[in-house]
Structure 1
Amino acid sequence: MGAADLAAAFRSGAVSPVEAAEAVLDRAEAINPELNAFTLIDRAGALAAAAASERRWKDGAPLSDVDGVPTTLKDIVWVEGWSVRYGSTTTSNAPCQADAPSVALLRKAGAVFIGQTTTPEFGWKAITDSALFGVTRNPWNPEKTPGGSSGGAAVAAAVGAGVFHLGTDGGGSIRIPASFTGIVGHKPTFGRVAAYPASPFGTVAHIGPMTRSTADAAAMLKAMSGRDLRDWAQGEGVLTPLDDEAGFSLAGKRVGYWSQPASGTVDPEIARIVEAGVARLAAAGAIVEPVTLPAENLLDLFHHHWFTGAAARVAGIAEQARAAVDLGLLETARAGSAFTSTQLVQAQIRRGEFGAAMDKMLGEFDFLVSPATALPAFDAGLELPKDSGFKRWTEWAGFSYPINLSQQPACVIPCGLTAAGLPVGFQIVGARGADARVLSAAASLEAIFTG
């Protein structure tokens, strides 16, 4: 059941928040030994919160329309009373003393926190495994990766171990696992959801919802959005409201089809499935035109931002503890340390120029659409597909990291399956602030793709 159906059932008394929580907890405990989606399942805490929600619904005084909705939180955001390990053996297991802003807003809305979901160490890569918690696996085929870094959240959503799932996305970490596991993942406009503590990866890092439907993604995003004075980078936090767009239609919308990633090449089967989705978009009345992104070496530009962020993250680890850190993260940090301060400032200027060009493009088009990933899920436990020739995960993530650089909203929905039965994701990108329109377009396409 989605959030709206649960709210209706809670209101009528047909289902109680305690029953919903118990069902989700049972599901989480059943799937975790094989799929490793959770680092923590808090049965006692969840049932206590669900009982409080049940009393509020019986009194006719729920905190919000999502009061009692089972929710998971990635092991990368602060949760009061839980230890947050960032998937790393180098971190403390001492409990957090405060909620992150997004967590605090979900708690204020009455969301029931089921547990924490897995991430690679400090969320540095687009697959999910760590020395602390092991390898997370794809429910469509446990030999395959669910992607990352929000891989545990994606798995929990895909198997029904929760309704709302909080993910983070610094280069595709919501959208890549959404694509690989056949769920909905939305990277909001930067600043829509406040972040604290600040990420070492800076303003490419976003926080957003991962769910089984666009309606749930919209409901979760509304609940977790808002201004928090601890997040200076958020700006004033004043963005176009997330109200539903009544009467939204794809007919007549000008849509740019972005078919070639900023790095890597598209798997022919992915291209065929996504192109079939684009054809259905056109059949719905949209005016679809091919586009290319503004000229820039986007892989190099992203590396300047992401690799220096990795260097900052590793610099905060005691030197004697670094031997336990993921080797790939250490290599990425060394590459980031090699950039000079001048090169980083130059990259920030280049990013501004690229972002402005993307704003201009999204002023001319209602949306851009693209594959969510250039390839399907590959073997679990690997950063790169076998024999790909890639050196780092960023090289196969060319449909995701450009939109972190531009900070625009992007929603991924499932649009089909490969011959091997693996999900394929379809990405919708909009202008900054236009999350409601992106989610409305995603909902319309969701209905077309599943109809």
Structure 2
Amino acid sequence: MTSTPDTAPTTAADLTATDMLERFASGELSPVEATEATLRRIEEADGTVNAYCLVDADRALDQARASETRWNRGTPQGRLDGVPTSIKDIFLTRDWPTLRGSRTVDPHQPWTADAPAVARLREHNAVFIGKTTTPELAWKGVTDNTLTGITRNPWNPDRTAGGSSGGAAAAVASGMAPLAIGTDGGGSVRIPAAFCGIFTIKPTYGRIPHYPASPFGTLAHAGPMTTTVTETALMLDVLTGPDSRDWSALEPPTRSYLDGLDDGVAGLRIAVSTDLGFATVDPEIAEAVTRAAQVFTDLGATVENADPGITDPVADFHVLWFAGAAKSVEHLTPAQRDLLDPGLRDIIDEGLTYSAQDYLEATNTRMTLGQRTGAFHETYDLLLTPTVGIAPFTAGTETPPDSPSPRWTGWTPFTYPFNMTQQPAASAPCGFTSDGLPIGLQIIGPRHSDARVLRAARAYEQAHPWQRPRG
């Protein structure tokens, strides 16, 4: 049954992170109460949604009690002190196993390191609720695996939550922690954000340090996932802290992403493309994106229909992605490989057929793509597209029945090109299908324009507030 949208919080679990922090400061709410409400929501909802593969209630409550003490003394430490937060089961997390959705990872080993994003969250005293689900090794745009099962859409459990950060998106949408971190190598924060009706940004590559280095190379980004643009900006302030373990990380920004967030879009020149010049799109979704573009016009931007002049780079993306998948399992024994998701085994087998020349040619295509989008953004400050051109389909399947390809890339042509170009790209809710399922608007900027993308998303959010599902 499809959920009914509602905007009114009913418990502390429905508050945004910024609301929680304000109430912690005023004494109206404590971190313990917020964490208890979050854990109750997980008990109520996660049996249906399956967003978490690990919940550590005892540790979360210990962290919440320590945070409550700091707030009571008037000495909170960090930007997120006491806020319940989830971590995708791709990020290393001290004292918790990171299984990556795979039966090939031994849980009984020392877990002594935090990934950079986790370390920054820990430094800012976020309360760690647990680890969220991912397809095996985050290889596809939906979330299911043989280890933890199928993650479902909070708006309609018969439908997919998307992926590969599907658990993170479903948890945020359901009120099972207001903040989450995910990864995005071809759309993996944006696809589930669109399907679950939440907000996210894949920032410019290197903006959030990443370790260990991804086998997918510089396609792989990390990104915050929340219900509001303000929360995402706050998380980015935290997550962009330096970490020497990532040799490709950018210098931390010198300005908070909250500064200028409400400055609007007046005077910006914005392109809108409902098909990028090559993609197939459901008419309902194209219409929703067109309506959203009109909002930007009403807010004072100059909006024009324009394609960025690129062709579908899917074949070259496959070379990069499938070769990365093969690299990720090179240490496995034949018996362990037999445990892998059959679809993952298929792309590994294909990845092993590529030569160094194939990889270099795909890299050359990637550079050309970046040059073309860079030139496009000399004219246009932003580009608006659908995030995904179809509605959420049946949970537990990689593709809908009428997909032109057996792989997830066949229905995600709007996301992976911008991993290849390393541009910032956000997904914001922009309406619903006739079946009551969320539609995502993708807001793309040139490299290093993360603050501009957030500012545009914030302007749209203020003009077009979005909603959370109510079962």
Structure 1 partner of 2:3: none
Residue 149 of structure 2 corresponds to which residue in structure 1? 134
Aligned to 1:97: 112
Please state if 1:82 is matched with 2:82.
no
Aligned to 2:81: 67
AA matched with 1:433: H
State the match for 2:59 in structure 1. Answer: 45
When the two structures are aligned, how many residues end up with a matched partner? 451
Which residue in 2 is equivalent to 1:107?
A: 122
Q: Which runs of 5+ in 1 are unaligned?
A: none
User: Could you tell me which of 61, 69, 81 is aligned with 1:55?
Assistant: 69
Give the secondary structure class of the aligned counterpart of 1:280. Answer: helix
**Structure 1 vs Structure 2 CA RMSD:** 1.6
Match of 2:301 among 280, 286, 298: 286
Matching residue of 2:48:
34
Distance 2:39 2:304 in 1: 46
Contact 1:252 1:286 in 2 (8 A): yes
For 1:294 and 1:301, how far apart are their aligned partners in 2? 17
The within-5 A match list for 1:386-405 is 386-405=401-420
> Per-residue deviation at 1:246?
5.8
What does 1:39-438 align with in structure 2 at a 5 Å threshold? 39-93=53-107, 94-236=109-251, 242-245=257-260, 248-261=263-276, 264-438=279-453
* 8 Å contact kept, 2:190–2:201: yes
> Is the 8 Å Cα contact of residues 277 and 309 (structure 2) preserved in structure 1?
no
Please report how far the alpha carbon of residue 182 of structure 1 lies from its aligned counterpart in structure 2 after TM superposition.
0.5
Q: Is the 8 A contact 2:278 2:312 kept in 1?
A: no
- 1:284-304 deviation per Cα after TM superposition (whole angstroms, max 9, x unaligned): 221112222343441112112
| Alpha-carbon distance in 1 for matches of 2:26, 2:299 | 37
CA 1:243–1:12 in 2, change beyond 3 Å: closer, same or farther?
A: closer
Mapped to 2, the partners of 1:258 and 1:351 lie a distance apart of: 20
Tell me which residue corresponds to 1:12.
Answer: 26
Q: Distance in 2 between matches of 1:348 and 1:390?
A: 23
User: In the TM superposition, what whole-angstrom CA distance separates every residue of 1:231-251 from its partner, at most 9, and x where no partner exists?
Assistant: 112254567753421651222
CA distance in 1, matches of 2:361, 2:254: 28
Higher mean C-alpha deviation, range 157-166 or range 356-365? 356-365
The question of whether the paired residues in 2 share the 8 Å contact of 1:182 and 1:414 is answered with yes
Instruction: Report the 3-state secondary structure (helix = DSSP H, G, I; strand = E; otherwise coil) of the residue aligned with 1:191.
Output: coil
TM-score, scaled to structure 2: 0.93
CA distance in 2, matches of 1:20, 1:162: 9
Distance 1:100 1:384 in 2: 31
Give the letter aligned to residue 37 of structure 2.
Answer: A
Distance in 2, matches of 1:247 and 1:420, equals 33
| Aligned-partner Cα distance in 2 for 1:216–1:204 | 25
Question: Would the aligned equivalents of 2:234 and 2:258 in 1 still touch at CA under 8 Å?
Answer: no
Q: Distance in 2 between matches of 1:306 and 1:263?
A: 21
Q: 1:246 to 1:75 in 2, by over 3 A?
A: closer
Cα offset, 1:321, TM superposition: 0.8
> 1:70: how far off?
0.6
How far does the alpha carbon of each residue in 1:252-285 deviate from its partner, in whole angstroms, 9 at most, with x for none?
2100112214764101111111111112222222
The answer to which of 220-229 and 404-413 deviates more is 220-229
Counterpart-to-counterpart distance in 1, 2:76 and 2:445: 33
State the alpha-carbon separation in 2 of the partners of residues 437 and 155 from structure 1: 27
- CA deviation after TM superposition for structure 1 residue 4, in Å: 2.0
Q: Which runs of 5+ in 2 are unaligned?
A: 1-14, 467-471
Q: Distance in 2 between matches of 1:247 and 1:136?
A: 35
3-state SS of 1:324 partner: coil
Note if contact 2:277-2:310 (Cα within 8 Å) is conserved in structure 1. Answer: no
**1:447 shift after superposition:** 1.5
Q: Secondary structure at the match of 2:347?
A: helix
Q: CA deviation at 1:186?
A: 1.0
In terms of mean alpha carbon deviation, does 63-72 or 278-287 score higher?
A: 278-287
After TM superposition, give the deviation of residue 320 of structure 1 in Å.
1.6
SS in 2 for 1:441: helix
What displacement does 1:432 show?
Answer: 1.5
